[in-house]
Amino acid sequence: KLSIPSIKSIKGIEHPPHFNIHHYAGVVGYNVEDWLTKNPDPLNDNCLDLFRKSSMPYMAELFADCVPAGPKERKKTFQTMAMMHRRSLNELMGMLNSTY
């Protein structure tokens, strides 16, 4: 379950969460400031392959151009979610700027 933190619950917190996820361990708040710099985790090749083959059209499309790298190419093609997000944002901004 996803929720938005109430103003009362975040009052006085230095870096308040932007959203909460409710799961078995309780409610966990997430702050998205500096998300691109805080998440340099590599994408696992097995996960990439599963995402690309997803039966959910949006998921399959989102990861369509992410091809798992072989052992020799892994260092050259190292991708993170943050890198993918940044590339996607740059493409969107390029498209928007070209229509202006």
DSSP string, 15-57: S--SEEEEETTEEEEE--TTHHHH--PBPPHHHHHHHHT-SSH
Name residue 93's amino acid. Answer: M
Q: Residues near 16 by Cβ (< 8 Å), separated by ≥ 6?
A: 5, 10, 29, 31
Q: Which pTM was predicted? A: 0.39
Distance CA 95, CA 90 (A): 9
* Per-residue model confidence as pLDDT tens digits over 44-96: 788 888 888 999 998 888 888 876 666 655 555 566 777 777 788 888 888 88
